[in-house]
Chain A
Amino acid sequence: MIINHPLLGPRDASEFTYLGDASLINRPDWQADNAAEAFYEYGYLRDNPAGEHQELWYHEAGDRSWLVVTRNTLTHEISKVELARDVARARGRSK
């Protein structure tokens, strides 16, 4: 599998490590009233789609950037690769 890094171009998947669902970017507010429930969902509950899936990959043997990879779990086709920080900022996160 080849991941087309947004900065470095096509790189072999062996250079990357997989973390999991890109929803991990949406860390709940720990000071919210429903923080316990929100963190339970954040930590344990995942969708397991057969099809398009957004996931976090880390370019460990490369520039060490976190990527959001949109991959079809049925065909392994990768349709989109973005820097995770760009995705996080687009979602209104400051860091």
Chain B
Amino acid sequence: MHDLVAITALGGAEPRVDTVGGVTCTEVPEVALASVAARMGQETSAAKALATLIDAPTPDVGRWAGTMITAFWVGPDQWMVEAPYDSHEGLADQVKATVGDTASVTEQTDAWTRFDLSGDSIPAVLELLCQLDLRRFDKGSAARCSIHHVGCFVICRTPEKVSLYGPRSSAGSLHHAIVTAMRSVQ
């Protein structure tokens, strides 16, 4: 049996935490992800099945919703499902069992790395990072955008907590961009 040490996307043994002024950026590795794409003609059934899984109405365009398992809209009839990794290691199988033949499910855990921003000057940081219209970006909003040429998802959990998902292979670049923006707003 190999004795392998788990490391985060940034290569540390522990998640990286950076605080600059009023904003804290936290690396969040403990997330299970699966993408759901409704099959043609099955869009309504897939959305209904997803609603039972997340125990909330399926998120509409540009929204995020759910309870223990949550989902956010990523494209027409497509969603990303997220849940705590410890309790939902087999998330993709669970999602597939729920949606059945109405949708195609792809395991996405560890394809993405997540950074959570918390604090009271998040809008100032996001203004430097992305082109989203922040006046319309309220609690429950989710959007894909380009951050330093890296395609990312931005999710507003609350006005004081925003999650950024970027490709795991670009974790270092994304982290550099975020921390640089945080320093710049001071």
Q: A62-B144, A62-B145, A63-B75 are in contact. Are A8 and B131 (CB under 8 A)?
A: no
B139-173 interface code vs A (CB 8 A; 1 in, 0 out): 00001111000010000000000000000000000
Contact B133 A9 (CB under 8 A): yes
Contact A8 B76 (CB under 8 A): no
Contact B62 A61 (CB under 8 A): no
What residues of B have a CB within 8 angstroms of the CB of A14 in the complex?
Answer: 131, 146
What residues of A have a CB within 8 angstroms of the CB of B144 in the complex?
Answer: 61-64
A77 at the interface (CB under 8 A from B): no
What residues of B have a CB within 8 angstroms of the CB of A94 in the complex?
Answer: 40
What residues of B have a CB within 8 angstroms of the CB of A62 in the complex?
Answer: 143-145
Contact A65 B76 (CB under 8 A): yes
Size class of the B contact interface (CB-based, 8 Å): 10 to 19
Identify the closest chain B residue to A8 (Cβ).
B62
A7 at the interface (CB under 8 A from B): yes
Q: A8-B61, A12-B131, A15-B146 are in contact. Are A60 and B75 (CB under 8 A)?
A: no
Complex Cα distance, B61 from A83, in Å, reads 14
Residue among B61, B131, B145, B146 making CB contact with A7, cutoff 8 Å? B61
Identify the closest chain A residue to B136 (Cβ).
A9
Complex Cα distance, B145 from A60, in Å, reads 9
B31 at the interface (CB under 8 A from A): no
B53-73 interface code vs A (CB 8 A; 1 in, 0 out): 000000001100000000001
A62-89 interface code vs B (CB 8 A; 1 in, 0 out): 1111000000000000000001010000
Which residue, A8, A9, A61, A94, has most C-beta atoms of chain B within 10 A?
A61
Contact B74 A63 (CB under 8 A): yes
Contact A65 B133 (CB under 8 A): no
Residue among B75, B76, B136, B145 making CB contact with A61, cutoff 8 Å? B145
A95 at the interface (CB under 8 A from B): yes
Identify the closest chain B residue to A11 (Cβ).
B131
Contact B133 A64 (CB under 8 A): no
Identify the closest chain B residue to A61 (Cβ).
B146
Complex Cα distance, B40 from A95, in Å, reads 8
What residues of A have a CB within 8 angstroms of the CB of B61 in the complex?
Answer: 7-8
Pull 9 A–B residue pairs with CB atoms less than 8 Å apart, ordered by A: A8-B62, A10-B133, A14-B131, A15-B146, A60-B151, A61-B144, A61-B151, A63-B75, A85-B76
Q: With contacts A7-B61, A15-B131 known, what are 4 further pairs, Cβ within 8 A?
A: A11-B131, A60-B151, A63-B73, A65-B75
